[in-house]
A = this chain, B = another copy of it.
């Protein structure tokens, strides 16, 4: 007797991942209301009814997708940040990462934001977003400690500027305006910190 190639637990986890991936794709493509559970099942390679063994409702499924998305995003960002030690570089690379994800997943991020307002969501999900946003605060605090941060605005303004400008830029880029991503990040970061004296 050889061990099975996949344990039962692994298969369940694979399937859950497949459902989440399929759901994310379909939600992105059609929005929440436009998404059909049947298509999610089909893309995940399972029967429609099986989806409901993993998530009680379409809304719960959306919750799951959001949770996984923010968790992945935070992990990815942390990896990027940890690859560098200089806070200024970290900020720039975080901007690059964030802009890239915004462009890749704009519809989805937007959709997520929408749901927070339309539906009667439990605010549980907010925690994921805040955890991600805190990455900025961590880096920027180190910039402040090293004296390279602009000091003429409270950190929350800086944070809003950072995320807001990147988000808005991602939208103009997606709308086809020729504009390089590196131009955007360089300029945005340039407004927030002054690395000249250092690097």
Q: Which of A14-22, A56-64, A65-73, A162-170 contacts B (4 or more CB under 8 A)?
A: A162-170
Number of interface residues of A (CB under 8 A): 40
Complex Cα–Cα for A172 and B167 (A): 14
Does A78 belong to the interface (CB within 8 Å)? no
Nearest B residue to A30 via CB reads B118
- Residues of B with C-beta under 8 A to A199: none
A75 touches B (CB below 8 Å): no
Contact for A160 among B110, B154, B172, CB less than 8 A: B172
Q: Are A31 and B114 in contact (CB under 8 A)?
A: yes
Compute how far the CA of A156 lies from the CA of B177 in the bound complex, rounded to whole angstroms.
10
Q: Which chain B positions have C-beta within 8 A of A114?
A: 31, 110-111, 114
A157 to B188, CA, bound (A): 8
CB neighbours (8 Å) of A38 from chain B are none
Which of chain B's residues has its CB closest to A110's CB? Answer: B114
| CB atoms of B167 and A168 under 8 A apart | yes
Minimum C-beta distance from A131 to chain B (A) = 15
Does A187 contact B153, Cβ atoms closer than 8 Å? yes
What are 10 A-to-B residue pairs whose CB atoms are below 8 Å? A31-B114, A33-B33, A106-B117, A113-B171, A126-B175, A157-B165, A157-B183, A157-B188, A161-B164, A165-B168
